[in-house]
Amino acid sequence: MKIKKEISLSILGIFFLGMGLFSISLAIIQGEMDIIFWFCYIGWSIIGYGILTRNSFLIISQLNILTIPTIIWNIDFFYYLFTKKILFGITSYFFSRTDILANLVSIQHIYSLPLAFFSIYLIKTKRKDFFKLSLIQIFIIFILSKLLTQKINNVNCVFKSCMNLGLEIKDPIYSLIWFISYIIMIIITNFIIIKINLCKAR
């Protein structure tokens, strides 16, 4: 049983790390340097490394950041897929572009969360302070996204909302809302993971 668990974790780790590195490499090859700063590109790579090193702290710190935004992405994706109508407008790009490799990268939003949560179920941990790294990371990535990416690409939604809300909120109010929103999502996710004892060492 232990051998099967270790093999499963190694496969998952290689998969996530490979997915993250492939996404980053594709962006570089296609000359889209800005998008390598997306949380998901960075997060899946870190999750892969975390699984390979059996470091649940790294894995959950990324899930704190990625879980709720990924769920929202999936809701928007499947809503359009089945109704052909726009809900939030987050995934409209997927259905309008013809780049198969880029869409292959985007589709990871559908299956990545279950696999990542399964990995922390296997690894376990006694820690509860995963949110600390999550908060530090969103601050660093926000600054890098603001300084090093173009406004038109709106990486990590740092310049404006990625949802079509019909509202235009300018800085510094928007940046404040961005931070408050991410802090709330991180705290909620961290709390739920601990509360359901998904990763609790026994």
Q: Is residue 18 part of a domain?
A: yes
- Residue 57: closest CA among 153, 130, 156: 130
- Phi/psi for 100 (5° steps) reads -65, -40
Is residue 197 scored above 80 in pLDDT?
no
Q: Is residue 201 part of a domain?
A: no
Q: Is residue 200 part of a domain?
A: no
Mean pLDDT of 118-122: 91
Q: State the virtual CA torsion across 134, 140, 146, 152 in degrees, nearest 10.
A: -40
Look at the pTM and tell me if it is higher than 0.85.
yes
Q: Would you say 133 and 61 are in contact if contact means Cβ atoms under 8 Å apart?
A: yes
Is residue 61 scored above 90 in pLDDT?
yes
pLDDT at 167: 76
* pLDDT one-digit tens code per residue, 22-60: 999 999 999 999 999 999 999 999 999 999 999 999 999
Range of the domain at 187: 2-195
Overall domain count for the chain: 1
